[in-house]
Structure formats: C-alpha cells, structure tokens
Amino acid sequence: MHFGQELPPRARGRRMVEEDDVVMAELGGTVKRETGEVMRMSMAEVFRMRDGKISERRAWVIELKENDFR
C-alpha cells in the first residue's frame, strides 16, 4: 500500500515491554512524503510469541500533528 510517502521511514524505539508470551514495542518515527513534507508518527507493535517465534503481530501507526503527546 502506498500513501504518497518515500520509503523507508525512519523509526526509533522508545520502550519495550514483555509479559508472558507478549512483547510490545513503542516507536516514534518520520517519513518523507513525495511533496517533501516530513510526516511525524507514533507507532506500536505487539507480538505474541510461541516456541521462540512470532505467532501473531499487530501494528498501529498514528500521524502526529501538534506534538509528541497528541
């Protein structure tokens, strides 16, 4: 899927939490749009592990408009 962005986005880890067989990672990042504008975003990845491998993955990306907390 293409949303008018140049790949790859730049991402940086903020925190990671593990409980039982679930690992959650919070990330922040940017991606340059084809217009030259830089989009800031907040991302989350949630993994369910089974036998040392990822058995389920869920991910969210939210565009940040005002500051890191909105």
Residue 14 has pLDDT above 70, yes or no: yes
**Mean pLDDT on 40-47:** 95
Threshold 0.75, pTM exceeds: no
Confidence of residue 69 (pLDDT cuts 50, 70, 90): low
Calpha distance 33→27 (Å, rounded): 19
Helices (H) and strands (E) in the chain, counts: 0, 4
Model pLDDT, residue 53: 96
Model pLDDT, residue 1: 44
Calpha distance 29→24 (Å, rounded): 16
Higher pLDDT, 4 or 63: 63
Residue 39 has pLDDT above 80, yes or no: yes
